[in-house]
Amino acid sequence: MEEENKIYPHVYEKMEDWPINKLHRDRKAFVQEIIDFTVERLLRKKTEDVTDMIGKTAYLEQIRIKEEPWKIDPPNERSFWKKIQKRLVKTALDQKPAQAKAANKELLTAIVSSYAEEIVATFRIKTFQFARKFLTWFFGRLLNTAASRNIKRIFSRKHQLSERMKISGEIEKVRSLMKKGTVIILPTHHSNLDSVLIGYIMDTFGGLPHFSFAAGLNLYNTGYTAYFINRVGAYRLDRRKKNPVYLETLKAMSNLAIQRGTNCIIFPGGTRSRSGHLEKKLKMGMMGTAVEAQRALAAKGKEEKVFIVPVVVGYHFVLEAPFLIESHLRQTGKERYINVKDGSYSFRKVLKFAWNYFSNGSEILLTFGKPLDVLGNFVDAEGASSDQYGNPIDIKDYFKKDGVVNKDLQRDRQYTQILADRVVERFFADNVVLSSHVIAFLMFNILKAQNTHLDLYGLLRLPTEDFEFPMEMVVQAMEALQTELKVLEAANKAKLSKEIHWDAKELIEEGLQFLGVFHAQAPLKINKAGNVISESFKLLYFYHNRLDHYDLDKKINWSVYKINA
């Protein structure tokens, strides 16, 4: 496929009309709405269950404060939780249910208020405009410098950023839906840079308004970073907090923001893909808030719809790949792997990441999948839903019982699972296969076929210096893989970049040029003899995983391709 290279005008002429701006103009009322909603929802439980939940929350928070303190944490946090715990002990001694319930409500209100104020940041148009200009300048200067390899030309004519940051897929339809409802972007997630790059590309080239997104609270430990992130509409997410009250507050924020028409980015995998795979198992929590919001809108008699847009982010290489694959293997291999520090927040490494992308002609692709409603049905440019046979449907009917929209959380969870399955399906169908993905997949499967007596961990312990892939053999194997990839594309199960249709030798050379180019250990490279070698089978495995689960490994007899070992 040919990636589009079009720059779209902005959907909204004025930033004051952006939904995220309207939400944050009413921040005080929004925070109070979150508090009321969350407390009311939690108090539906039995009084003794609520008491236990508050006790568990206080206990977990005091452990967090002791074992994982951050500079951003409030100075009075320790005393706050001690007061909560003392008040709870007093409540537990009270034998009157009415008084216990009233005390629980008071405690929950205090806790949820603290969480809601922490989670909800702000949005400032001037701050966003500055961030937009800075990123354009930053990426533009890198492009010019990298292209010329001459620091004297750093202020020369700008190269088109759109040549390296590309949007493809259903962008026209997404733009049409922006004023017909609330758009939820569900992207694949491989790098800490995803939020910034997705937001920048959608704004600068897609003409879409700014979206709300999660920013890890740890980012607020740095002064300059905290200042800007706190004012561009990101909501703060503290992954240390896993207690039920915090999670309910977080979900309430998402639910109510969607009901208010705030477009948002939710990473359905929950975190970066440690293995390099496209996500197959999605987190139900935040994604389920879209289903609940749609049901709530229907119950209020509103016609607004919530639209789900799967987005696949395509990189030739991932900044944090060494850390990610080590983390994955440590989790699956237990004691055979040790922790490796994740230095992905280093500005020097971010700069190096961008430099290598631009200096090597690499691209970042944002592929918009077909928009869905919250039940996983396709929608047209006007927002109308249709079933698998193309028949029009009214999704409000799916939230009704005896003709009336009713609340059924179990049903909502089932709908969320249906939506998740459809999103995963679209991730694979809309994934653009890049040359780097193909060469990594090819070489690791050849290595695996030559060592069938070893499991994955045995393969990864093999000495890389003992293996050499003859170029002639690699070309023959690539031709076979190209044939199967074209079959995959014809069946609409994946998309192929234009390079996949090139001559096999040219495809291999391009893939090697881009694959993990900045890593200290190259996943693959050509040696002096003109053959292909690897310096890290672990990184090779990471990049190979991008094409895993397409069953391509079963379509080719890899054993016929011999390695010099």
Per-domain boundaries in the chain: 20-119, 124-314+344-430, 432-560
| Distance between CA atoms of residues 85 and 126, nearest Å | 42
Say which residue, 334 or 478, is predicted with more confidence: 478
Lowest mean pLDDT among 220-234, 281-295, 373-387, 546-560: 220-234
Q: Residue 458: which residues within 8 A CB-CB, separation 6 or more? A: 451
Kindly list the distances between the CA atom of residue 500 and the CA atoms of 426, 481, 529, in Å, as whole numbers in the listed order: 21, 10, 25
Helix axes 125-148, 347-359, angle to 10 degrees: 50
Does residue 348 surpass a pLDDT of 60? no
Dist. CA 397–CA 211, nearest whole Å: 29
Question: What is the C-alpha to C-alpha distance for residues 103 and 554, in angstroms, rounded to an integer?
Answer: 62
Q: Where are the alpha helices (DSSP H) in 450-521?
A: 456-460, 471-490, 504-514
* 183 φ, ψ (degrees, to nearest 5): -100, 125
CA separation for the pair 558, 443 (Å, rounded) = 10
Alpha-carbon distance 115 to 440, whole Å? 44
Per-residue pLDDT, averaged over 136-146, amounts to 68
| 506 to 100, 150, 476, 498: CA distances (angstroms) | 73, 28, 13, 12
Given a cut of 90, whether residue 94 has pLDDT beyond it is: no
Confidence band, pLDDT 50/70/90 cuts, at residue 157: very low
Identify the helix (H) or strand (E) that includes residue 438. helix 435-449
**What is the rounded end-to-end Cα distance, in angstroms, of the chain?**
37
Q: Tell me how far CA of residue 112 lies from CA of 23, 101, 117, 253, 290, in angstroms.
A: 20, 16, 8, 11, 21
> What pLDDT digit, counting tens, does each position of 243-261 carry?
999 999 999 999 999 999 9
- Say what the pLDDT of residue 385 is: 97
Instruction: Let me know: does 291 contact 396? Beta carbons within 8 Å.
Output: no
Q: What is the crossing angle of helices 321-333 and 537-544, to 10°?
A: 90
Confidence of residue 531 (pLDDT cuts 50, 70, 90): very high
d(CA 529, CA 471): 9
pLDDT score of 149? 45
- Res 190 pLDDT > 50: yes
Please say if the pLDDT value at position 48 is more than 90. Answer: no
Residue listed under structure tokens 């923001």 = 257
Confidence at 331, pLDDT banded by 50, 70, 90: confident
Backbone angles phi, psi at 74, to 5 degrees: -60, 140
Beta strands in 148-202 (DSSP E): 165-169, 181-187
Instruction: Calculate the CA 197 to chain-centre distance.
Output: 11
Compute the chain's Rg from CA coordinates: 25
Predicted pLDDT of residue 360: 59
- Cβ atoms of residues 492 and 553 within 8 Å: no
Question: 491 phi and psi, to 5 degrees?
Answer: -90, 5
User: How far is residue 320's CA from residue 519's CA, in Å, rounded to a whole number?
Assistant: 9
Write the DSSP string, 26-82. THHHHHHHHHHHHHHHHTTS-HHHHHHHHHHHHHHHHHHHHHS--TTS-TTHHHHHH
Q: Is the pLDDT of residue 29 over 90?
A: yes
Say how many C-beta atoms besides its own lie within 10 A of residue 222's C-beta: 14
pLDDT of residue 297: 97
Is residue 95 over pLDDT 70?
Answer: no
Where does residue 150 rank: exposed (0-12), middle (13-18), buried (19+ CB within 10 A)? Answer: exposed
What DSSP assignment string belongs to 81-131?
HHHHHHHHHHHHH---HHHHHHHHHHHHHHHHHHHHHHH---B-HHHHHHH
What are the tens digits of pLDDT across the range 499-515?
999 999 999 999 999 99
Spatial strand order of the sheet with 264-265 comes to 165-169, 364-368, 305-314, 181-187, 264-265
Q: Are 238 and 116 in contact (CB under 8 A)?
A: no
**Predicted confidence band of residue 401 (pLDDT cuts 50, 70, 90):** very high
Residue 342 pLDDT: 46
For residues 419 and 291, is the Cβ–Cβ distance under 8 A? Answer: yes
Closest CA to 416 of 282, 267, 560: 282
The architecture in CATH of the region 124-314+344-430 reads 3-Layer(aba) Sandwich (3.40)
- pTM above 0.75? yes
